[in-house]
A and B are shown apart, each in its own frame.
Chain A
Amino acid sequence: MRLTLRVWRQRDAGAPGAMTTYEVDGISADMSFLEMLDTLNERLILDGEDPVAFDHDCREGICGACSLVINGDAHGPERTTTCQLHMRSFADGDTIDIEPWRAAAFPVVKDLVVDRSSFDRIIQSGGYISVPTGSAPEAHATPVPKADADHAFENAECIGCGACVAACPNGSAMLFTAAKVNHLNVLPQGAPERESRVLDMVATMDAEGFGGCTLAGECATACPKGIPLPSIAAMNKEWLRATRKGRRS
């Protein structure tokens, strides 16, 4: 396959950036999107140019590091992560636009790499449970109803990639925060911090400069893990409940 790429190039956080055009040839339909970019970078390095910086780690769709907006869609045209997207989703001769996640709370570090440490700070403010460390507890000591377990698992699938923020017209982190809050709040292990968790994580989310939710639904459409839109309503319910009850921990 022969492709025309228009890639966002930006030297560092302070520099202005621009879409830059590259031609790539000899791309196989079986390559992943990131392998296609590797091909481009190998050539750029041989030509003595600066390779395109992009985030990636596992390349298995489980770590949440990869993050590209491809032709206006976070993670591209398929419902999966960028690393699991294959070139067979494109046609020979296509022009592909590649941009970084865009949000005030995700500043560009270089080219296609953005700083997502705002997500880490949301997690630090409540995305954990307090347990004594030591040997693993007996698995049957705390029974969890099947429906709750399913609800927790569905939300626990979030890999923290940030596609929801990138796709949202308001740069809102509600889907991510909802996934994290719901995952722990429905489980007995998360119960002691149930109120403070949602209050603190939402407060951090607001303080980091993410936008609010207007229920546009773009986040759930972009999410590679299928975190459903009603997760946001479930978090709103938790938040309103916590404001009424007050924090207990």
Chain B
Amino acid sequence: MVLATRSDREPSLPRTLWGSTIGKKAVMAVSGLIMLGYLVAHVAGNLKVFFGPEEFNGYAHWLRTIGAPVLHDEWMLWIVRVVLLASIVAHAVSAYQLSRRDIKARPVKYAHKRARASYATRTMRWGGVIIGLFVVWHLLDLTTLTVNPNAQPGRPYENVVATFSTWYGNVIYIVAMLAVGLHVRHGFWSAAQTLGAGNAARDRLLKTLANGLALALTAGFIAVPVAVMTGLVS
């Protein structure tokens, strides 16, 4: 017996991934994990603020010279920026497209309302939008210094203190960091399921890890504004 042969070529891997709900979710998971890795490094760096202006500003300067003399000034910084930008775009576009699809797949609501577990799903969508807006504000505040009250290039310590000396600076950062915690809590565990790492035996471990990461990030980031507010850092 001769089997029918396929004359049509299989679609390329990126096309298969992007064209499927599972593949798109995998793109979301991987880009989210890249950003999560960045946040862990970021929170650790932020905590250097407790060692005073020389050490914190020196650290910020070192970030610009990583890889020297192989890499030129700021090259590493720009590599990280490009990877993060690509991750943000991939994450946001896949989240938007999948959310649109999900809403369309359930056009009629039930007449009998009850508190559904769409709680996590809704928090992820709103939380994502809040974090996105925050990142824009954050870059204007501490990278371009456009909205920073101190705005001294090369002196991030003084700029951070200036930000957290305003009431709105504290409110914006603390609200955003709570959103980050909630986002990471569902997001990390979710990414593990999407990438096929979840199973019944590992579920407790993954949930504990997700909660631990979320708590460490939120507490670590919020420690800085709290320290400025209480005068511990000035």
Contact = CB atoms under 8 A, between A and B. Distances in A.
Contact of B116 (A172, A212, A218, A234): A218
Contact of A105 (B102, B105, B120, B200): B105
The A interface is mostly helix, strand or loop, or mixed, namely mixed
Nearest to B104: A104
Contacts of B23: 239, 243
A69 interface: yes
Contacts of B196: 233-234, 236-238, 240-241
Interface string B156-193: 00000000000000000000000000000010011011
B209 to A, nearest CB: 15
A170 interface: yes
A214 B120 contact: yes
B214 interface: no
A169 B105 CA distance: 9
Interface in A96-148: 97, 99, 102-105
A215 B25 CA distance: 11
A34 B219 CA distance: 53
Nearest to B97: A212
Given A71-B112, A99-B112, A217-B117, A211 B102 contact: yes
B146 interface: no
Interface stretch (A37-45, A54-62, A86-94, A202-210): A202-210
B16 interface: yes
A27 B110 CA distance: 26
A132 B200 CA distance: 36
Interface string B102-116: 111111111111101
Given A169-B118, A230-B200, A230-B203, A103 B112 contact: no
Contacts of B144: none
Contacts of B203: 230
Interface residues of B, number: 45
- The secondary structure that dominates the B interface is helix
Interface string A183-217: 00000000000000001001101100111111111
Contacts of A214: 98, 102, 120-121, 124, 190
Nearest to A241: B196
Contacts of A171: 102, 105-106
A243 B107 CA distance: 31
A205 to B, nearest CB: 8
A227 interface: no
B98 A216 contact: no
Contacts of B21: 202, 205-206, 211-213
B2 interface: no
Given A206-B21, A243-B13, A8 B111 contact: yes
A79 interface: no
A213 B117 contact: no
Nearest to B111: A19
B77 interface: no
Interface of B: 10, 13, 16-17, 20-26, 98, 101-114, 116-118, 120-121, 124, 186, 189-190, 192-200, 203
17 contacts: A103-B105, A169-B116, A199-B16, A202-B20, A212-B101, A213-B22, A214-B102, A230-B198, A230-B199, A233-B192, A233-B193, A237-B197, A239-B22, A240-B195, A241-B196, A243-B17, A244-B13
Interface of A: 6, 8, 19, 69, 71-73, 97, 99, 102-105, 168-172, 199, 202-203, 205-206, 209-218, 221, 228-230, 232-241, 243-244, 246-247
